[in-house]
């Protein structure tokens, strides 16, 4: 089992949940911060600070200073101006933290001070729109905020309106929309990743178990392929969650909640088409999050409902996964961040 140290965010409010953020080698995890529902974690580029979403009603984001032993010193917490923030990212300049409020369908922007603490929001941008799934798409549901490889454009993914918004981030911390991609109705886009070298991006869709392949250039996304995240005629309900791309741009990895699998896609040389080459059991129930080890040889799967974290060895030439040892127990893991 890998000896790499990781941070783990857990749902604390669920039955059987943890108390906050765990840290350590996978076999020796221990609690390092008590905070409410830290469902997504990011670290500053210099490795000094950790930021977490507190995915609660009247949500918030919290800042921590990372100690030499990996411990976390609380700095401060700021409201996101919305409900249940579930994703966040730091802009390439390191000046702003952006977060996606899922339930209320808005994006919040907070300035980052020199000491790592967060200032009051410079903007809470409310999205609008609905989709055909009346239960899940009755309104906007922001699920991810991310930057393109150049750092020029900011993209927010809205499950509720089947939309990916493309924006620029102003010097004073405000998003200005420059384009919008409409995914097919009822898809429920959740997360996207960019190809590291080709002009391509990939969106995993939660509501119909598909992967959307797009060409990408200068803030413009265009759909070129739609593929299933599961084998044909798979039974039962399924809700994809996380999406990763290998550093060499040859393989994609998506989690299937319901099937409880990790789907592996081979990417064409031009980045503009994919093929499903493997689905493998995720090592538990409801794999919400996936993460690569820092060297890219191991994949972690955080299985929320079974309270297990599984590890897989990744074969670089084929992209396929092989289970590595037994899953480790940790309460309601929903985000893994190797350090």
Q: Per residue in 205-261, pLDDT tens?
A: 999 999 999 999 999 999 999 999 999 999 999 999 999 999 999 999 999 999 999
Structure-block tokens of residue 160:
């509720």
- Classify residue 118 by its DSSP letter: B
| Res 152 pLDDT > 90 | yes
Per-residue pLDDT tens over the stretch 4-58:
999 999 999 999 999 999 999 999 999 999 999 999 999 999 999 999 999 999 9
Count CB atoms within 10 A of the CB of residue 126. Answer: 14
Rounded mean pLDDT, 269-283:
98
Angle of CA points 113, 119, 173, to nearest 5°:
90
The C-alpha atoms of residue 28 and residue 23 are separated, in whole angstroms, by 8
Count CB atoms within 10 A of the CB of residue 332. Answer: 25
Each residue of 54-64: b (16+ CB within 10 Å) or e? bbbeebbbbbb
Residue 2 binned pLDDT confidence (cut-offs 50, 70, 90): confident
Report CA-CA distances (Å) from 25 to 8, 179, 279, 293, 326: 11, 42, 27, 12, 15
Structure-block tokens of residue 53:
């979403």
Q: Is 47 buried (19+), middle (13-18) or exposed (0-12) by CB count in 10 A? A: exposed
pLDDT of residue 1: 67
Under 8 Å between Cβ of 149 and 131: no
The C-alpha atoms of residue 176 and residue 188 are separated, in whole angstroms, by 23
């Amino acid at each position: 089992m890998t000896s790499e140290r990781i941070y783990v965010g857990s749902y604390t409010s669920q039955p059987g949940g943890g108390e906050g953020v765990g840290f350590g080698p996978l076999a020796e995890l221990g609690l390092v911060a008590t905070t409410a529902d830290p469902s997504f974690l990011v670290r500053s580029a210099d490795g000094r600070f950790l930021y977490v979403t507190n995915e609660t009603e009247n949500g918030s984001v919290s800042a921590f200073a990372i100690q030499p032993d990996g411990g976390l010193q609380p700095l401060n917490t700021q409201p996101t101006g919305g409900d249940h923030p579930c994703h966040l990212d730091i802009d390439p300049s390191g000046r702003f933290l952006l977060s996606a409020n899922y339930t209320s369908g808005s994006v919040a922007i907070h300035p980052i001070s020199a000491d790592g603490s967060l200032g009051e929001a410079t903007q809470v941008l409310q999205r609008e729109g609905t989709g055909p799934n009346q239960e899940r798409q009755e309104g906007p549901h922001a699920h991810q905020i991310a930057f393109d490889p150049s750092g020029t454009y900011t993209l927010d993914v809205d499950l509720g309106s089947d939309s990916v918004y493309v924006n620029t981030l102003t010097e004073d911390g405000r998003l200005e929309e420059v384009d919008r991609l409409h995914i097919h109705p009822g898809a429920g886009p959740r997360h996207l990743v960019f190809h590291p070298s080709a002009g391509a991006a990939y969106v995993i869709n939660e509501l119909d178990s598909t992967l959307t392949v797009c060409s990408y250039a200068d803030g413009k996304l265009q759909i070129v392929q739609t593929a299933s995240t599961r084998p044909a005629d798979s039974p039962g309900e399924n809700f994809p969650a996380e999406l990763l791309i290998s550093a060499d741009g040859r393989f994609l990895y998506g989690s299937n909640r319901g099937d409880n699998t990790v789907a592996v896609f081979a990417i064409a040389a031009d980045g503009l088409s994919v093929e499903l080459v493997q689905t493998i059991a995720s090592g538990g129930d409801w794999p919400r999050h996936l993460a690569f080890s820092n060297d890219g040889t191991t994949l972690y799967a955080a299985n929320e409902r079974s309270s297990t974290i599984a590890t897989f060895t990744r074969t670089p030439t084929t992209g396929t996964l092989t289970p590595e040892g037994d899953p480790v127990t940790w309460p309601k893991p929903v985000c893994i961040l190797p350090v």
